Amino acid sequence: MAAVAPEHAIGVFDSGVGGLTVLKALLRELPGENFIYLGDTARLPYGTKSPTTVVRYALAAAEALMALRLKCLVIACNTASAVALAQVRARVVSVPVIGVIEPGAEAACASSSSGHIAVIGTEGTIRGGAYQEAIRRRRPQAQVAAAAAPLFVALAEEDLCEGPIAAAVAHHYLDPLLAGAPRTDTLVLGCTHFPMLRRAIEQAVGPGLAIVDSAQTTAGAVRCTLAQAGILAPAGMPHGRLRLLATDAPQRFAQIGARFLERRIAAEDVEAIDL
């Protein structure tokens, strides 16, 4: 890691705009850092693709970002973290590579007093069982209930995060999940789109359930990793630079991404990149 310097950027990639919820948490946690975000909008969604395809896409995104002088790489996609983290780490050996699964599982285990934990995510994340495995590795006696909730992704991107449609879809997914696991005290939002629907989810599950957002815990993990490696941006630095890349439809990325990032994004600020 000799060639890595504190002023180098943190690279973040996702299949589209969902990972901007992770970037938002990173910007809040590490305001002095430089960030480069890549949304692979030409090939989204990853959640319905085969593991072989997701690994190929993730490696291509990682290699594109590594060409831009990084000091850390964040896989801000639950599906890619679940399926391709090991392969990306094997390819990218010069900087730390952090996924969103392990920090989310760690936070879920710390939050749950009963050991009964529920996870919602995309089809690919739930089918692969990465959250279930990561939770049980930390708490072998944990009882983990999991369900795919793919319509949440569409609702987030269409800005239907609240109201009767969001409420109905939340109950559609969560009522049977929690009815089958009545002692559940912690729910993991295992997709980066899902924090956009947090209010609808909270209303559906009621006040007795802790909700874990892996975006927040991932940001904390990145800070710890950089601090341990001695490559945090110096304290007191002004706000760092943000560079946004997309593999297709920069204007749509800017329009939808502004809601996820909670800041204005001009279409001309999104660079087109071909993987």
pLDDT tens readout for residues 107-116: 999 999 999 9
- Which of 176, 186, 167 is CA-nearest to residue 118? 186
CATH number given to 102-214? 3.40.50.1860
Q: Are 88 and 58 in contact (CB under 8 A)?
A: yes
Q: What ranges do the domains of the chain cover? A: 9-99+216-272, 102-214
pLDDT of 62 > 90? The answer is yes
Distance CA 115, CA 117 (A): 6
CB atoms near residue 32 (< 10 Å): 14
Q: Which one of 72, 77, 109, 161 is the catalytic residue?
A: 77
Q: Which band of pLDDT confidence, cut at 50, 70 and 90, is reported for residue 234?
A: confident
Tell me the per-residue pLDDT of 214-231, one tens digit each, with 9 for 90 and over. Answer: 898 999 999 999 999 999
Token pair in block for residue 232? 């945090």
Q: Which band of pLDDT confidence, cut at 50, 70 and 90, is reported for residue 2?
A: very low
Q: Given strand 116-121, what is the order of strands in its sheet?
A: 143-148, 116-121, 186-190, 210-213
Distance CA 119, CA 104 (A): 10
Distance CA 126, CA 190 (A): 8
- Which of 256, 35, 176 is CA-nearest to residue 267? 256
Question: What are the angstrom distances between the C-alpha of 253 and each of 18, 104, 125, 145, 194?
Answer: 10, 26, 23, 33, 17
- Catalytic annotation on 77? yes
Q: Which one of 72, 161, 191, 224 is the catalytic residue?
A: 191
The length of the chain in residues reads: 275
Of the chain, the end-to-end C-alpha distance in Å amounts to 26
Token pair in block for residue 126? 């739930």
Q: Which band of pLDDT confidence, cut at 50, 70 and 90, is reported for residue 174?
A: very high
pTM for the model: 0.92
How do strand 270-272 and strand 143-148 relate by DSSP bridges? unpaired
- Which of 210, 225, 194, 1 is CA-nearest to residue 99? 225
Token pair in block for residue 123? 């089809």
Q: Are 215 and 24 in contact (CB under 8 A)?
A: yes
CATH number given to 9-99+216-272? 3.40.50.1860
Distance CA 94, CA 154 (A): 36
Q: Which band of pLDDT confidence, cut at 50, 70 and 90, is reported for residue 184?
A: very high
Distance CA 58, CA 44 (A): 12
